[in-house]
Amino acid sequence: MKSASLVVVAFAAIEGIEGFLSTSLHRHRPSPGRDARAPSLSAASTEGPYALLFDCDGVIIETEQLHRLAYNAAFREFDLKIRNEPVEWSVKYYDVLQNTVGGGKNKMFFHFRNTTGTFPSSGDGGPVPTTPEEEQDLVDRLQARKTDLYKELIAEKAAARPGVLELMDQALADENIRVGVCSASTKAAVTKVLDVTLGSERRQKLDVCILGDDVSKLKPDPLIYVTAAERLNVDPARCVVIEDSIVGLKAAKGAGMRCIVTYTTSTENEDFYALGCDAKVPELGSKGVTLDMIFGPMKRDGPDAEILVGVKD
């Protein structure tokens, strides 16, 4: 099937995406160095802590095309074919998947069940799956191989997006701000990204890290962010999420949180404000975003105050 046709079919079959991952939740524990934090941004702020939660892919690091390359490499290794055509995701089609489906396995299930209407045959000796168990087995094996290939790409090309580490360090130094990462990607993939981009010392200071393996429903379901607020014991209205996609934005707003979108080339044309986005910027670094631009207004004027005044698109 041609990529243009795939895009049309995918847009027509958005509804009904469900999570397929396990429910073993990450346990929050005090992080090293937390008791050495600096005074909070506003001495007048007395009503409870705040939280700054980062998505990983597309926010901490622009990884979406690396994911696509890894999927296509796995598809080639398995010699996947549908109606004698190799399975391959184009840039345009992957953008559709990224903005409508949360989680890697879910993307494959969506593609095979909703877009193509059939699972592929594979040259590694596997016939077309005919039962849900066989479908799950193929997707599990593909995802495992894709993760290994992705980690190899990350080791070669990973670098944090401009301004991310600076903002994270400001938050980690503030005694009134809790900091976390909430990603629908697998623990193996995210751990590799965080090790390479944040470094072990900064990563260990995070107050919470909840990943796709830890929750039963993936973005756009709000469960991952609801869970983060519960773990941190922070009112969702005092949580600010940094996302890059409509899927992530819906999850954040569904949890009752503020959301800043740092869009990428894959998502720059999306109407994030129509879906409740609180602020949209191309990059944190290019706009000089600081912690005070985000939480200063909330602490002075309440959780619903306008944020990133003068810098958001």
| pLDDT single digits (tens) 87-126 | 999 999 998 898 788 788 999 999 999 999 999 998 865 7
pLDDT at 125: 59
21-62+160-301 against 64-157: fold identical: no
Q: What share of the chain is helix, strand, coil (3-state, %, to 5)?
A: 45, 10, 45
Helices (H), 41-103: 64-77, 91-100
Question: Residue 236 and residue 255: Cα distance in Å, rounded?
Answer: 7
**Going by DSSP bridges, is the β-strand pair 279-281/80-82 parallel, antiparallel, or unpaired?**
unpaired
> Which residues on adjacent β-strands are paired with residue 51?
178, 239
Q: What are the two backbone dihedrals, phi and then psi, of residue 308, each rounded to the nearest 5 degrees?
A: 55, 40
DSSP-derived secondary structure letter, 243: E
Question: Residue 57 and residue 67: Cα distance in Å, rounded?
Answer: 9
pLDDT at 155: 83
* b/e burial code for range 11-47 (CB count within 10 A of at least 16 → b): eeeeeebebbbeeeebebeebeeeeeeeebbeeebee
CB 146 within 8 A of CB 104: yes
pLDDT at 124: 64
CA proximity to 52, closest of 60, 44, 63: 60
Q: Does domain 64-157 have CATH number 1.10.150.240?
A: yes
CATH class of 21-62+160-301: alpha beta
288-303, pLDDT tens digit by residue? 999 999 999 999 999 9
Q: Domain boundaries in the chain?
A: 21-62+160-301, 64-157
pTM: 0.72
pLDDT at 75: 97
Question: Residue 160 and residue 197: Cα distance in Å, rounded?
Answer: 5
Q: Starting at the edge strand that comes first in sequence, how are the strands of the sheet with 258-262 ordered?
A: 208-210, 177-182, 50-54, 239-243, 258-262, 279-281
Catalytic residues: 55, 57
How would you write the pLDDT of the chain (313 residues) with one tens digit per residue?
444 444 444 444 433 333 333 333 333 334 444 544 444 444 444 467 999 999 998 899 988 788 899 999 999 999 999 998 999 999 999 988 987 887 889 999 999 999 999 999 988 657 899 999 999 999 999 999 999 998 899 888 778 999 999 999 999 999 999 999 999 988 988 988 899 899 999 999 999 999 999 999 999 999 999 999 999 999 999 999 999 999 999 999 999 999 999 998 778 889 999 999 999 999 999 889 999 999 999 999 999 999 999 999 9
The structure tokens listed for 137 are: 């087995």
> Which residues on adjacent β-strands are paired with residue 241?
53, 259
Angle made by CA atoms 202, 213, 177, in degrees to the nearest 5? 35
